[in-house]
Amino acid sequence: MQAYRGSILHLLEDPTKTTNAEAVAFHEDGLLLVEGGRVAGCGPYADLAPWLGGAELTDLTGHLITPGFIDTHIHFPQIDVIAAHGKQLLDWLEQHTFPAEAAFADPKHAADAAAFFLDELLRNGTTTALVFGSVHKVSVDALFAEAYARDMRLIAGKALMDRNAPEGLTDTVETSLADMEALIADWHGKGRLGYAVTPRFAISCSDAQLAMAGEVLAQHPDVWMQTHLAENLHEIKETARLFPKARDYLDVYDGFGLLRKRSVFAHCVHLKGDAFRRLAAKDGAVAFCPTSNLFLGSGLFPLEEACSHGVKVGVGTDVGAGTTFSILHTLGEAYKVGQLRDDALDPFHALYLATLGGARALDLDDKIGNLSPGKEADFVVLDLAATPLMARRLAGAKTLEDKLFALTVLADDRVVAGTYLAGVERYRAVRAPT
């Protein structure tokens, strides 16, 4: 058994649905016990110390332990287009994204990028992600191979796109079906990996391809589905033109059987009450991607409205339209989006979205999302004095809430001192001597 002593903060419930006393667990001097890759105990040091026995004790006093962060929307083949100047979504795809993704036809390029991508997630404290690959099967093989080697809980899929994309970046119904069946057979359920059927968005998929995607999901009920929905006004208009019979954008996906439990829709910036209601009724989830929505000028996601309709929401970085791998920093940006809507995001709600809320969005809350006994021991060790400014501001924080809030606003990768996957340390920050 391994034991970690430090401050521990995690969410047991959605703090907007109950009191903070019920939702938020904080142990100033806490102890986390890990056995066989799972949490064996988590609570105040004084209560759990008798159970230490011969456990190997790591002293993290002065650090904050939280569950690993969950990124519900990110693109692996877009690491090289992060921070690319230009216009909004459809132009950005043409100018920057499609050319970069074309390079992922090469297995060597994909393997190098996969290792970098996963290491970057771990450097930022992300222990689970729902990931878009490129259209090429080899990109997803490369990503799964690297995630398997790290024993990471990761879900990914090859992008389906059989129209409205440059040559070299399209598939067909036949090739994409064969690729998906092979990827599911080879990787879904292997270690902690899962497959997601991944129609890029309605514009890039024919009716026949969306229908095929729905059939694959019907045959594999425990496979995930990920796509983009109602991100940008031009995209919405073009979708309506391509699918004149659909009631709205959500109905395009719903009509092909793509809206169900384990379906995650990125953005949903321009969704309204009725669509949120239908999304919630069919148990779909939304990935809120604030840095991307700001960077591409897509708009301000109505988080409060989505939540009020009972929609499950997680946060996504959406790299490379998103501008950071850090989920903590993404929470700080989510707060700013809330401010522009005159609807401030509560710090505990923010941490919930990044952990247990994300796990619920992915239907994985029986396995990850907090540090309750029996869950997989995916956790991060945060250095609250990672920079002089953070040290000064956080040391002066009057309450836990204030400290957590300032952390999200100021955080970047420097705050992550260590990242553990299933109880194994997979990243440790190397600090310059002071």
For Zn ion, give the closer residue by CB, 2 or 293: 293
Q: Report strand pairing: 285-288 vs 263-267.
A: parallel
The interface mask with Zn ion, positions 311-350, x = CB under 5 A, is: -------x--------------------------------
Q: What distance in Å separates the CA atoms of residue 312 and residue 85, rounded to the nearest whole number?
A: 32
Return the one option of Zn ion, ligand GUN, none that residue 323 interacts with (CB less than 5 to 8 A, by type).
Answer: none
Rounded CA-CA distance 293/353 in Å is 17
Q: Where does residue 191 fall: left (phi above 0), alpha (psi -120 to 50 degrees), or beta otherwise?
A: left
Q: By CB under 5 A, which span of 152-160, 261-269, 330-338, 348-356 interacts with Zn ion?
A: 261-269
Residue 200 binding partner per list Zn ion, ligand GUN, none, with a CB distance cut-off of 5 to 8 Å that depends on partner kind: ligand GUN
Q: Map tokens 């100047």 to a residue.
A: 85
Residue 231 sits in the site that holds Zn ion (CB under 5 A):
no
User: Cβ 198 to ligand GUN, closest distance in Å?
Assistant: 10
Nearer to ligand GUN, 169 or 184 (CB): 169
Q: Report the sign of the C-alpha dihedral through residues 404, 407, 412, 418, in that order.
A: negative
Shortest Å distance, C-beta 302 to ligand GUN: 18
- In this structure, the dihedral spanned by the alpha carbons of residues 183, 188, 194 and 198, taken in order and rounded to 10 degrees, is 30
Smallest CA-to-CA distance from 28 within 52, 41, 44, 39 is with 44
Residues 322, 323, 324, 329: what is their CA dihedral angle, to the nearest 10 degrees? Answer: -90
Looking at beta carbons only, is 94 or 305 nearer to ligand GUN? Answer: 94
- Cα distances from 117 to residues 27, 99, 394, 411, in angstroms, run 33, 18, 30, 19
CA distance 390 to 396: 10
Q: Are 273 and 250 in contact (CB under 8 A)?
A: no
Residues 268-307 vs Zn ion: string with x where CB under 5 A? ----------------------------------------
Nearer residue to Zn ion within complex by CB, 118 or 296: 296
Q: How far is the CB of 319 from Zn ion (least distance, A)?
A: 9
231 binds, among ligand GUN, Zn ion, none (CB under 5 to 8 A by kind): ligand GUN
> Segment contacting Zn ion (CB under 5 A): 59-67, 105-113, 147-155, 264-272?
264-272
Nearer to ligand GUN, 231 or 363 (CB): 231
User: Which residue number, 7 or 232, has a Cβ lying nearer to ligand GUN?
Assistant: 232
Which residues here bind Zn ion, judged by CB under 5 A?
Answer: 266, 318
